[in-house]
C-alpha cells in the first residue's frame, strides 16, 4: 500500500509541475490562452456530442432491425 501511495503522490506532484511549467511557457497571454482553450474545449465537446448522437442512432437502428427479425411468440 505504501508503494501505491508513493506512486500517487509522485504522479500528482508531476502533474502539478507540468501544469505550472505549461502555463509559464505558454506562447499566449492569459486572456488569449483562456479564450483559445475555451474554444478548443467547446469544439471537442461538440464533436463528442455529435459522435454520441451518431452512435445512438446507429445502435437504435440495429436494435430495430433485430426486433423486426425476432420471431413473434403466440400465447
Q: By residue range, what is the domain housing residue 38?
A: 2-69
Answer yes or no: is 74 within a domain.
Answer: no
pLDDT, residue 53, reads: 97
Q: What is the number of structural domains in the chain?
A: 1
In a domain, 16, yes or no: yes
Collapse the DSSP code of 36 into the 3-class scheme (helix H, G, I; strand E, B; otherwise coil) and give the result: helix
Is there a domain that residue 75 lies in?
no
- If one counts every other C-beta atom within 10 angstroms of the C-beta of residue 33, the result is 14
pLDDT, tens digit (0-9, with 9 covering 90-100), for 12-69: 999 999 988 987 887 888 788 889 889 999 999 999 999 999 999 999 999 999 999 8
What pLDDT, on the 0 to 100 scale, is given for residue 74?
66
Answer whether residue 6 is part of any domain: yes
Query: 33 with 26: CB under 8 angstroms?
Result: yes
Q: Cα(41)–Cα(23) distance, rounded to whole angstroms?
A: 17
Amino acid at each position: 500500500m505504501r508503494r501505491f501511495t508513493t506512486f500517487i503522490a509522485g504522479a500528482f506532484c508531476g502533474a502539478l509541475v507540468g501544469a505550472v511549467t505549461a502555463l509559464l511557457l505558454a506562447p499566449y497571454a492569459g486572456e488569449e490562452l483562456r479564450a483559445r482553450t475555451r474554444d478548443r474545449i467547446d469544439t471537442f465537446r461538440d464533436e463528442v456530442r455529435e459522435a454520441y448522437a451518431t452512435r445512438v442512432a446507429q445502435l437504435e437502428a440495429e436494435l430495430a432491425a433485430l426486433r423486426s427479425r425476432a420471431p413473434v411468440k403466440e400465447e
